[in-house]
């Protein structure tokens, strides 16, 4: 009797393990199917949520302004976004929130997205540098000297609706 009961319990145990393996295999396949279906559903929702456009505009003196715009369909909570990228020829200069190009096109004073530092691009030297004489505040406007392009007046917005005006002489000697 013990031999038969031992065989019966072994057979029952073996059948239980087989069912567990089949059940586990079925659950894994079901999980993958659900996961891929969910990802497909999300990707169709995301694809219809926004429209991306890109325009390139020659702004003269060898500079190109590229504007990328993300416009979301009505009813979506995302905000519309525009990004401006400035190029000199094929050289990327900045993703600018503000820029001003000198009369002859050698210099650009600009600020980049997420940064209040005021920067200078010198097209002749193909270099970008920080204008440390200026405070890290938002630039309101730049006026270029009519006689020499290496002189500029920069007006910045300060707190409490005040402005600061700084006259600059830019590094202009050939190296």
- Both tokens of residue 126? 């193909």
The rounded distance, in Å, linking the Cα atoms of 41 and 38 is: 5
Of 107, 110, 159, the closest CA to residue 139 belongs to: 110
| Structure confidence at residue 26 as a pLDDT band (50, 70, 90) | low
- Both tokens of residue 11? 């057979």
Range with the lowest mean pLDDT among 13-27, 49-63, 150-164? 13-27
Does the structure show a pLDDT above 50 at 46? no
CB atoms near residue 121 (< 10 Å): 22
The rounded distance, in Å, linking the Cα atoms of 76 and 86 is: 30
Of 78, 71, 79, 119, the closest CA to residue 95 belongs to: 119
**Greater confidence, 94 or 38?**
94
Tell me the domain boundaries of the chain.
Answer: 1-48, 50-169
**pTM beyond 0.75:** no
The rounded distance, in Å, linking the Cα atoms of 129 and 137 is: 16
Give 112-145 pLDDT, tens digit per residue.
Answer: 888 889 999 999 999 999 999 988 899 999 999 9
């Amino acid at each position: 009797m013990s031999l038969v009961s031992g065989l019966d319990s072994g057979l029952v145990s073996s059948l239980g393990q087989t069912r567990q393996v089949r059940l586990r295999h079925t659950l894994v396949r079901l999980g993958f199917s659900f996961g891929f279906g969910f990802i497909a559903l999300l990707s169709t929702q995301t694809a219809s949520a926004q429209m991306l456009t890109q325009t390139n505009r020659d702004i003269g003196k060898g500079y190109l302004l590229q504007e990328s715009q993300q416009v979301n369909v009505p009813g979506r909570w995302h905000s519309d976004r525009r990004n401006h990228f400035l190029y000199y020829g094929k050289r990327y200069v900045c993703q600018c929130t503000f820029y001003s190009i000198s009369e002859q096109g050698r210099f650009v004073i600009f600020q980049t997205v997420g940064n209040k530092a005021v920067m200078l691009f010198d097209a002749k030297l193909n270099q970008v540098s920080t204008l440390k004489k200026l405070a890290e505040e938002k630039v309101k406007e730049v006026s270029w000297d009519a006689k020499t392009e290496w002189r500029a007046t920069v007006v910045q917005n300060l707190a409490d609706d005040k402005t600061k005006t700084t006259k600059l002489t830019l590094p202009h000697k050939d190296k």
